Structure 1
Amino acid sequence: MKRNKITLAGVGLLAASAMALAGCASSGGDSDTDDSGDNGGDASAIITVNGSEPQNPLIPTNTNEVGGGKILDAMFAGLIGYAADGAVFNDVAEEITVEDPQHLTVKIREGLTFTDGEEVTADNFIQAWNYGALASNEQLSSYFFEDIEGFSYDADSELTGLEQVDDYTFTIALNKPASDFAQRLGYSAYYPLPDVAFEDIETFGENPIGNGPYMLDGEGAWQHDVGIDLVTNPDYDGPRTPANGGLSITFYASQDAAYNDLLAGELDVLDAIPDSAFETFESDLGDRAVNQPAAIFQSFTIPDRLEHFGGEEGNLRRQALSMSINREEITDVIFQGTRTPASDFTSPVIDGWSDSLAGAEVLEFNPEKAVELWAQADAISPWSGEFQIAYNADGGHQAWVDATVNSIKNTLGIEASGAPYPTFAEARALITDRTIQTAFRTGWQADYPGLYNFLGPLYATNAGSNDGDYSSEEFDSLLAEGISATDAEEANSLFQQAQEVLLRDLPALPLWYSNVVGGYSETVENVQFGWNSVPLYEQITKVG
């Protein structure tokens, strides 16, 4: 039987019938992961960076947004990690063996600990995953356990597919083939939890105890809506050893404020340039400006439950709205070349991406067709009210939302506007509990570098990030076929067919692909942004 192994250093990935790590390679001696501790900076210095208030307490299985994800990724170590280019390297895992697309064996390294001194064992993964999968716990990332035997959306049940072999080894049996499952295991939903977490999970979420490169800087380190302070974990033994003394993450109310602090030398690293500075940031920062492709997709979602957006009428209106948006003009004028109009639901930086999907013309600006489709919808039920797109005002979205609704208004002759909410957390709370009464901004920063990650979590029936509650048997079937395929080319072809269903139904309206647009001050060196737009914080050093 052929096997596929993920190994940390010195051994490349073996070719296998399973395609779990197709396109990835061992990190080996890659400076992205294992020599960050010797790059000439002040290893005791604190690096100041931007962030946003997490939507929820910091529980790995209940965090599916970027602000909380950044913090968890710094505080926890998973079985694997991802280098700057998306290549896989081992972190807690010593070896992951893929026997076939439904059976994996995981062996973790011995002697690793959480910051409270508890040893990291196989049981810490099994307990954490079972907690995340229980229906009664209502975890946002429960979808990531759907493929493991025993999972149920309807009732509490144990993940029977997880079996502990010994203290450092466990096996994973899947209920259906998932050929990229090993590649997913660096995502935060799969992090281990110490025993203390299960004594009071909510309290733990406010003061998490991890096993990663950084840890909370004592009691009160997390000041809600202000920031969070992390220091290095002296007991971390892995490939992401920090070359600095910690991270001070500020939750800015606006990207403009963050950019002004960067220019003033009050902020070391910024991963989100405000649109007001798109025209000048590269000249302002010189070779410290960052503008590179990243696995980020932007859209907005209109739930079926909203008036005028169910059934055939809703489908016609979604198509009309899509064709009334001049994406080329918005990306040129508003984003100054830092965005690219979308032609699918994924990202050009991911293997298998295609710009020639059937039905992609619905993403092109076509005012005449848009008006025609809107009239067909009116024949079913005349339009009433105002079309709005909700967004978080602290995220720098007003300019593009205003441009988008103006394009809709001018094309269709209807009232359209943005609906701002002060913070990301406030907007997400309404979206998550399904009380929001307008369309709303959505998007995806990939959890791992694979096409499936842009499709399954967002549009599969019952998926944790399926904010519009979309459900299509045809899409689900194609998705299942794709993830079962052991040949990468066949799998990507099926994922492309699944996207053609999405282009017909438009559960979300694709807008554009985002570059990571950021920069850093003169006070730091060794700044590198990863495939998913997040800086590799552990590498950054202070000058001098």
Structure 2
Amino acid sequence: MRLLALFAVLALAVTGCTSADPARPGVLTVGVREPATLLPADVADQAGRLVTGALWTPLADYDAASGKLTPRAAESIESTDRVHWTVKLRPGTFHDGTPVTAQSYVDTWKAVAESTWFSAPVFTKLLRAKEITAADANTITLTLDRPSGQVPALLSAPGLVPLPASVLASRDWAGFAKAPVGNGPYRLDGGWHPGSGGTLKRVGSGATAEVELRVGDPAAQYDAVKAGTLDLATEVPGEKHEAMHGDFGDHHATWDLPRAGYLAFPVTNPRFADATVRHGFALGVDRAALEAGPLAHQVDPAKSLLPPSDTPGERSGTCRPCSFDAAAGKALLKQAAFPGGATVYFGPSEEAWTRTLVVGLHKALDISVTAQAATGQPDGPSALDVKLATASPYELLSELAAKSGYADETFRQNLALADAAATPQEAGELYRLAENQLLRDLPVAPLWSGHGHAVWASRVRDVVTTPFTGPVLARIGVS
């Protein structure tokens, strides 16, 4: 009996709920992992984006595929010359009762640009504004160092939401992340409790009055939804991947994440300067084995260079370097007289799947391939796990070129023209040219793109997902 009681206590600690939990009207219970941080400009993980997406309202929502901008906290984001931009704000208030003004954004963006946070490159590498000012309480003006049509996409990044004057003055970022104050449809009641979670209370247009966020193990949360003691699980572990279709019918969703994996080649190294060699390695990658193995069904094998979450317009043609063809890969290495032997370098987040990758390359290409933690300048391919801060293809294409040392002038010009394009359609065509050139020259080989999963109970309705937030908590209702 005492042993059974112990098991019950352990189950409560893991799932954050018990089988006796009643469903409360107007309260949505949600299972999440522990967010790495709730400081929005430094969020790069799915759990953090889910929570901050409920606490803040971004300037706009931007769809990379259509180029469509939907203003939210902004009334408009406009320019006549793509150098001088004007952002008009809707009236807004922080959860502490202070007004959200143009100066709130200007001061927040200055803090982000001066930081080492995840979203800092949006200002230092992508936006490159010479001046950002508050013309009046509801008007932000930006002057860029060149014409760019990507400003709406960049300013819609979820990490560029405003912070209240209190934390901008104190600079107590760690303290603020424990009790964040946003401008969104929900406020965090009582702060965040690591290992446990937090409670969101509606202050705006949320569909439910309250959201209970429960931190726990995804497998246990999946079972809790199935048992009726949790409304929504925001992650489905690999071992439940196939079962969720039968367990939940149409009460599950899969969405594209702003995340992708690549193999970047040091193109300035003579051993990898020949594109034939790089294509040989790309054809030797068994992407399905990575997806089913160390990546645990949390990704899709790559079918393009740009992941679906970052894709402008319709895609045409197929991605030959995304195929697994061991015989063709070996033939290409032989054709290029590749001397054999390679080390693939990895960072902390890439180690598990890189070790599986090198075993597969060794078997497929019949050459010695080893894995090693990255230190200094790599003399072989590098595994990349790229997390995106914006929906603009410019961010990813420019980063991939930089990671490999690829400096082709035609590619650089197409990327610059896409950045400066007057319309989303024109930009999409130019991004396609840049993407296709990378697939031909292959300084980086696409491996996989991330996706998220969620399952929910029958009383839950209107589950909508986006690449950056996953399930949009403010849209979800309960009966």
| Structure-1 separation of matches of 2:39 and 2:54 | 13
1:530 equivalent in structure 2? 466
Confirm or deny: 8 A CA contact 2:401 2:443 kept in the other structure: no
- Give the partner amino acid of 1:138: T
> How much has 1:523 moved relative to structure 2?
4.3
The C-alpha deviation readout for 1:356-405, integer Å capped at 9, x for no partner, is 27xx422222323322454578856x5266x5766759xxx97x777645
2:87 equivalent in structure 1? 106
Which one of the candidate residues 191, 203, 228 is aligned to 2:197?
228
Confirm or deny: 8 A CA contact 1:115 1:211 kept in the other structure: yes
Is it true that 1:96 corresponds to 2:77 in the alignment?
yes
| Structure-2 separation of matches of 1:191 and 1:537 | 17
Per residue, is there more helix in 1 or in 2? 2
User: 3-state SS of the aligned residue for 2:249?
Assistant: helix
> How much has 1:83 moved relative to structure 2?
8.7
- In structure 2, relative to structure 1, the CA distance for the partners of 1:213 and 1:469 (3 Å cut) is farther
Is it true that 1:142 corresponds to 2:120 in the alignment?
yes
| Structure-1 separation of matches of 2:199 and 2:375 | 28
> How much has 1:471 moved relative to structure 2?
5.1
User: 3-state SS of the aligned residue for 2:454?
Assistant: strand
User: 3-state SS of the aligned residue for 2:445?
Assistant: strand
- In structure 2, relative to structure 1, the CA distance for the partners of 1:244 and 1:101 (3 Å cut) is same
> How much has 1:331 moved relative to structure 2?
6.2
Is it true that 1:521 corresponds to 2:453 in the alignment?
no
Which one of the candidate residues 253, 256, 263 is aligned to 1:294?
256
- Give the partner amino acid of 1:53: P
Per residue, is there more strand in 1 or in 2? 2
- In structure 2, relative to structure 1, the CA distance for the partners of 1:405 and 1:68 (3 Å cut) is same
> How much has 1:324 moved relative to structure 2?
0.6
Which one of the candidate residues 336, 341, 356 is aligned to 1:383?
341
Which one of the candidate residues 56, 79, 95 is aligned to 2:59?
79
Is it true that 1:370 corresponds to 2:329 in the alignment?
yes
User: 3-state SS of the aligned residue for 1:215?
Assistant: strand
Gaps spanning 5+ residues in structure 1: where?
Answer: 1-40, 152-158, 420-429, 462-467
1:16 equivalent in structure 2? none
| Structure-2 separation of matches of 1:289 and 1:391 | 31
2:304 equivalent in structure 1? 343
Is it true that 1:217 corresponds to 2:189 in the alignment?
yes
The C-alpha deviation readout for 1:290-345, integer Å capped at 9, x for no partner, is 24x636553234474xxxx8623245664333111234676699988983541332
| Structure-2 separation of matches of 1:446 and 1:205 | 19
- In structure 2, relative to structure 1, the CA distance for the partners of 1:66 and 1:494 (3 Å cut) is same
> How much has 1:434 moved relative to structure 2?
9.6
Is it true that 1:51 corresponds to 2:33 in the alignment?
yes
| Structure-2 separation of matches of 1:473 and 1:526 | 47
Confirm or deny: 8 A CA contact 1:144 1:189 kept in the other structure: no
Is it true that 1:497 corresponds to 2:433 in the alignment?
yes
- In structure 2, relative to structure 1, the CA distance for the partners of 1:416 and 1:519 (3 Å cut) is farther
Confirm or deny: 8 A CA contact 1:148 1:174 kept in the other structure: no
| Structure-1 separation of matches of 2:99 and 2:425 | 41
User: RMSD over aligned Cα, in angstroms?
Assistant: 4.0
- Give the partner amino acid of 1:542: V
- Indicate the percent of aligned positions where both proteins have the same amino acid: 21
2:18 equivalent in structure 1? none
User: 3-state SS of the aligned residue for 2:142?
Assistant: strand
> How much has 1:175 moved relative to structure 2?
1.6
TM-score (structure 1 length as normaliser): 0.70
Is it true that 1:311 corresponds to 2:269 in the alignment?
yes
Confirm or deny: 8 A CA contact 1:147 1:176 kept in the other structure: no
The C-alpha deviation readout for 1:437-469, integer Å capped at 9, x for no partner, is 994451456733x5435434x3364xxxxxx47
| Structure-2 separation of matches of 1:50 and 1:259 | 11
> How much has 1:479 moved relative to structure 2?
1.2
Confirm or deny: 8 A CA contact 1:44 1:245 kept in the other structure: yes
Confirm or deny: 8 A CA contact 1:294 1:533 kept in the other structure: no
Where do residues 261-280 of structure 1 align in structure 2 (5 Å cutoff)? 261-280=224-243
Confirm or deny: 8 A CA contact 1:338 1:517 kept in the other structure: no
TM-score (structure 2 length as normaliser): 0.78
| Structure-1 separation of matches of 2:359 and 2:116 | 38
2:400 equivalent in structure 1? 459
Confirm or deny: 8 A CA contact 1:243 1:540 kept in the other structure: yes
- In structure 2, relative to structure 1, the CA distance for the partners of 1:507 and 1:201 (3 Å cut) is farther
| Structure-2 separation of matches of 1:454 and 1:432 | 23
The C-alpha deviation readout for 1:80-109, integer Å capped at 9, x for no partner, is 236999854332223333323222222212
| Structure-2 separation of matches of 1:77 and 1:286 | 32
Is it true that 1:361 corresponds to 2:302 in the alignment?
no
- In structure 2, relative to structure 1, the CA distance for the partners of 1:378 and 1:116 (3 Å cut) is farther
The C-alpha deviation readout for 1:499-526, integer Å capped at 9, x for no partner, is 1343255454312445543321234232
User: 3-state SS of the aligned residue for 2:324?
Assistant: coil
User: 3-state SS of the aligned residue for 2:100?
Assistant: coil
- In structure 2, relative to structure 1, the CA distance for the partners of 1:127 and 1:45 (3 Å cut) is same
User: 3-state SS of the aligned residue for 2:465?
Assistant: coil
> How much has 1:283 moved relative to structure 2?
0.9
Is it true that 1:191 corresponds to 2:161 in the alignment?
yes
Gaps spanning 5+ residues in structure 2: where?
Answer: 1-22
Is it true that 1:541 corresponds to 2:458 in the alignment?
no
User: 3-state SS of the aligned residue for 2:253?
Assistant: strand
Confirm or deny: 8 A CA contact 2:75 2:90 kept in the other structure: yes
User: 3-state SS of the aligned residue for 1:78?
Assistant: coil
User: 3-state SS of the aligned residue for 1:209?
Assistant: coil
Confirm or deny: 8 A CA contact 2:65 2:312 kept in the other structure: no
